[in-house]
């Protein structure tokens, strides 16, 4: 396995890790209320964080799978997962009612941009795997 064959599939794993890190730190949803309770968007943040962690693990695992069919299947599932993450903030999970709040102005755009980047990296990984299949058959 060449370096390119390993690096390309690891790109969406790294982007997923960046989504996780950013989503719970710099680009997190709204802060807790003064009484210590959380708003609706906090559960959305937790869902994105768990999904991003799963994508990072599964994309990284796929990079090291030698069976090309299994690798391709896992990469396609992860690619679909990245598409689902795009819809978590605001569609699958409700955000706060006011459009001026942090979850709408910072968190949702970050998640949407990063999930598109993860999906793009996933497409590159799938194409790379498909090219390996064709190269080994020729």
Domain range annotation of the chain: 15-23+39-132
φ, ψ dihedrals at 93, nearest 5°? -110, 135
pTM for this model (two decimals)? 0.91
* Closest by CA position to 72, among listed 57, 62, 81, 64: 62
Q: From first to last of its 138 residues, what are the pLDDT tens digits of the chain?
A: 567 678 999 999 999 999 999 999 999 999 999 999 999 899 999 999 999 999 999 999 999 999 999 999 999 999 999 999 999 999 999 999 999 999 999 999 999 999 999 999 999 999 999 988 565 554
Distance, in Å, from the CA atom of 23 to the CA atom of 106, rounded to the nearest integer, reads 10
């Amino acid at each position: 396995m060449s370096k390119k064959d390993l690096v390309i599939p690891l790109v969406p794993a790294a982007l997923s890790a960046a989504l996780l890190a950013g989503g719970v730190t710099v680009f997190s949803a709204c802060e807790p209320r003064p009484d210590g309770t959380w708003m609706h968007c906090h559960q959305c943040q937790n869902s994105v964080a768990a999904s991003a962690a799963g994508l990072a693990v599964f994309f990284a695992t796929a990079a090291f799978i030698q069976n090309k069919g299994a690798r391709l299947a896992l990469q396609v599932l992860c690619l679909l997962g990245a598409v689902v993450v795009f819809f978590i903030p605001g569609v699958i999970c409700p955000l706060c009612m006011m459009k001026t709040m942090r979850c709408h102005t910072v968190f949702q755009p970050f998640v949407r941009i990063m999930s598109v980047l993860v999906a793009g990296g996933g497409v590159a990984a799938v194409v790379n795997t498909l090219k390996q299949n064709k190269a080994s058959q020729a």
